[in-house]
């Protein structure tokens, strides 16, 4: 992935977090870190698995994580 794409992703996340905070309307924000990580991690894993046609070894290599970690994350997010 080139730097341009990384900046686009970061820009989208930045905008979403700013919008989220602005939309709170005085409410106290929750655990933003976990909310963002969970919001990004599940679709990231799903896309990697789709891209590799469900091959967990290839998906874990694509993501740069251990296959056992991928399996734990799949269980955590209830990804089949």
Q: Is the pLDDT of residue 15 over 90?
A: yes
pTM above 0.85?
no
Q: pLDDT band at residue 3, thresholds of 50, 70 and 90?
A: low
For the segment 22-59, what is each residue's pLDDT rounded down to a tens digit? 998 888 888 899 999 999 999 999 999 999 999 999 99
Cα separation, 80 vs 75, in Å, equals 8
Number of H helices, E strands in the chain: 4, 0
CA distance readout (Å), 63 to 51, 53, 57, 60, 80: 11, 14, 10, 5, 17
Q: Are 79 and 69 in contact (CB under 8 A)?
A: no
Radius of gyration of the chain (CA): 15
């Amino acid at each position: 992935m080139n730097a341009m794409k990384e900046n686009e992703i970061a820009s989208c996340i930045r905008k979403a977090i700013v919008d989220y905070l602005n939309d709170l309307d005085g409410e106290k924000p929750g655990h933003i870190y976990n909310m963002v990580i969970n919001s990004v991690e599940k679709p990231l894993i799903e896309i990697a698995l789709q891209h590799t046609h469900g091959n967990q070894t290839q998906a874990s290599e694509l993501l740069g994580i251990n296959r056992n970690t991928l399996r734990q994350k799949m269980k955590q997010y209830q990804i089949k």
